[in-house]
Amino acid sequence: MNTGQHTRQMTELGRAEALRLLGSVELGRIVFTADALPAIRPVNHILDDGDVIIRSHTGAALTSSINAVVAYEADDIDPDTHIGWSVVVTGIARKVTDPDAIARYEQLLTPWADQHMDQVLRIHPEFITGFTLTDGTVGR
User: Are 29 and 40 in contact, with CB atoms under 8 Å apart?
Assistant: yes
| Residues in CB range of 69: below 8 A, 6 or more apart | 90, 91, 92, 93
16 binds its own copies (CB under 8 A): no
Closest CA to 127 of 62, 40, 5, 31: 31
Tell me how far, at minimum, the Cβ of 16 lies from its own copies, in Å.
Answer: 21
How many residues in total does the chain contain?
Answer: 140
Q: Give CA–CA dist 139/51, Å, rounded.
A: 32
Per CB under 8 A, the segment of 12-20, 21-29, 46-54, 94-102 that binds its own copies is 21-29
Burial class (CB within 10 angstroms; exposed 0-12, middle 13-18, buried 19+) of 5: exposed
| Interface positions, 38-77, toward its own copies (CB under 8 A) | 38-42, 69-71, 73, 75, 77
Single residue of 15, 17, 25, 94 touching its own copies by CB under 8 A: 25
| Interface positions, 79-118, toward its own copies (CB under 8 A) | 79, 82, 86, 88, 90, 106-107, 110-115
Query: Which residues in this chain contact its own copies in the complex, by CB under 8 A?
Result: 2-4, 6-10, 25-27, 29, 31-33, 37-42, 69-71, 73, 75, 77, 79, 82, 86, 88, 90, 106-107, 110-115, 131, 133, 136
